Structure 1
């Protein structure tokens, strides 16, 4: 099974060019879509989820045309948007049973078995009779995944699924996504680099509506290996370093501003080599793309 996206473009009525010729081949398993807010991730997810029409390009899941055969796509699609509402006074059991009915599972016994399986899979069985309005953020996210799994989907899209979750909920959610990704295509759209690094065998980085990098996370990291340098500086020195060097990221540590610089050679003796990681790849690609638009 493979999702093929070719030259997908979308411009909104307000003139925002959200997608600019996106081309990706996404195999079965977990695929990470990484990018900053406003990069075009949600626009791509909404297009693949048949919620909006692309201006041009194509997207196919094996022989199924996602852009044209929307009714058929929805039969095999599971979608968890970044924000979704719930009926606060309805229990998770009754809500899943209702959604299953809407998806065409008419046999009551079959629905009962399916709902029980999903509630156990998402660790919600013990709270199945509690109203959704009493659920924590993590529990609501797990309910979102449960409803997305109804109908044995072949393509699952999750948009910023771990935003706002505490570490324990985030870890449980990661384990659940990995289990799901063994038998289907799961697209994980996020701006959290660690989520992609921990979960995905394949990924792409999107910025300003364009794919700026794609491949296997470890191989992408190899591309900046030996080229990342770090140094702690005073805050008022940052502008100077940004003028002379390609500063890709900064963070505070013990009252100092720590910078990461991308350079083929050691900038000067005061810098130390840094073992590159996927976050460095991300910031290198994003800053390079941002800077090129300012030239």
Structure 2
């Protein structure tokens, strides 16, 4: 299976161009979509999930059990094979996990109560919530609610799963459990992970894209993107008041406070006096691409 997006555009009524000629091919497995807040990630996810209309373009989900689905024109068909965990996932606090999941399964067309029970029990086991299935959702931690969200997204064995900012606010242990669950799901499904957390993409995804101001500005395997900037990232510890001067004379891609002083990373094709080389990582890719794109003066 794969998801193919061509020439996708979306402009909101207030004039904000959320998506600008977006083109992506997303293969089976875990696909990371990185970008800052307001970059267009959620707009893209909502469009794929048929929650909003596009102004133009095409989205095709190919090689599914029922053939190729034109997402923008066959909304009912894509909804039957779609699992979606939005950024804001609300739950009914006084309803048990078991009851809520049974209700959602019913809404998704599973009418046989015995079949629903088997599916609900299997999904709660899969997301490690079977032991609390009788407890009200209002008593769940953030990580437990996210795992419940994945359980409801998996009802009906979807071909495409979209998770939007799934690890925001989770503690390290919950985040690790959630990562393991997503990795397992991605073995047989197209999973799109929309996030602004670079580490999540590094740990989970074999393919990725970076989006900024509605534009796809990088696309590829994380290791290939990192390799493309090796030897071009340099760092230096400076005094904080010097930062503006360095920004005026170098392409500063990131800053970090260390021991009361400021560490800066710059992008340069050649060595810079007073700087030391850095082994590049995906965070350097992300910041260099975002900085470069914003400096072009692209207006959303």
Structure 1 length as normaliser, TM-score? 0.99
What are the Cα deviations for residues 132-154 of structure 1, in whole angstroms up to 9, with x where unaligned?
A: 01111111000000000001000
> Does residue 1:274 correspond to 2:272, yes or no?
no
Match of 1:286 among 274, 286, 290: 290
Query: Please, which runs of 5 or more residues in structure 2 have no aligned partner?
Result: 63-67
Deviation of 1:294 (Å): 6.9
After TM superposition, list the pairs within 5 Å mapping 1:162-241 onto structure 2: 162-241=167-246
Tell me how far apart the structure 2 counterparts of residues 103 and 271 of structure 1 sit (CA, whole Å).
58
SS at match of 1:153: coil
Are residues 61 and 135 of structure 1, via their aligned partners in 2, closer, same or farther at CA, if it must alter by over 3 Å?
Answer: same
Alignment length, in residue pairs?
A: 294
- CA-CA distance at 1:267 after TM superposition: 1.1
CA distance in 2, matches of 1:102, 1:30: 27
Q: Aligned in 2, Cα 1:259/1:75: closer, same or farther, shift over 3 Å? A: same
Equivalent-residue separation in structure 1 for 2:261 and 2:154 (angstroms): 47
Look up the match of 1:66: 71
Report if the CA contact (8 A) 2:213-2:298 is conserved. Answer: no
Q: TM-score, normalised by structure 2?
A: 0.97
Residue 110 of structure 1: how far off its partner (Å): 1.1
Mapping 1:84-163, distance limit 5 Å: 84-163=89-168
User: Residue in 1 aligned with 2:33?
Assistant: 33
1:16 shift after superposition: 0.4
Query: CA deviation digits over 1:45-66, x for unaligned, max 9?
Result: 0000000000000000011000
| Alignment pair present for 1:18 and 2:22 | no
Once residues 272 and 231 of structure 2 are traced to their aligned partners in structure 1, the CA distance between those partners, rounded to angstroms, is: 12
SS at match of 1:116: helix
Judged with a 3 Å threshold, the aligned counterparts in structure 2 of structure 1 residues 258 and 8 are, in CA distance, closer, same or farther, namely same
Paired position in structure 1 for 2:65: none
CA distance in 1, matches of 2:181, 2:110: 24
Aligned-residue offset at 1:283: 0.2
Regions of 4+ moved over 2 Å = none
Superposed CA RMSD in Å reads 0.9
